[in-house]
Amino acid sequence: MEKRETLSGYAIAVVDRGFVYMGQCEHDGQWCVVHNARNIRRWGTTKGLGQLAIEGPNKDTVLDAAGTVRIPSHALISLIDTDESLWK
């Protein structure tokens, strides 16, 4: 079994079937685990998902607590880095 590097950091995880989560992500090549995840139900932006990554949530953003989310890599579309301090 080959050793895989684990990537981690605060990010927005875009998943197939339209799910979008944010939180502390760990990705080992097979699974992406989002700790203290929140589902981004409504972006509330005028400039798309990238605006959330750069600016954090705004008054129209709707977040739902989701606990720990485990996403198989084949279902992960993208991870967008964001600054944890924006989401406090």
pLDDT tens, residue by residue, 3-17: 555 678 999 999 999
**Rounded distance, CA 5 to CA 48, Å?**
30
Please say if the pLDDT value at position 1 is more than 50: no
CATH classification at residue 67: 2.30.30.100
pLDDT tens, residue by residue, 16-71: 999 999 999 999 989 999 999 999 999 999 999 999 999 999 999 999 999 999 99
pLDDT value at residue 5: 59
Work out how many domains the chain is built from and give that number: 1
Residue 2 falls inside a structural domain:
no
Q: What is the value of pTM for the model shown?
A: 0.90
- Burial annotation 34-71 (CB, 10 A radius, 16+ → b, else e): beebbbbeebebeeeeebbbeebbeeebebeebeebeb
Residue 57 falls inside a structural domain:
yes
pLDDT value at residue 70: 98
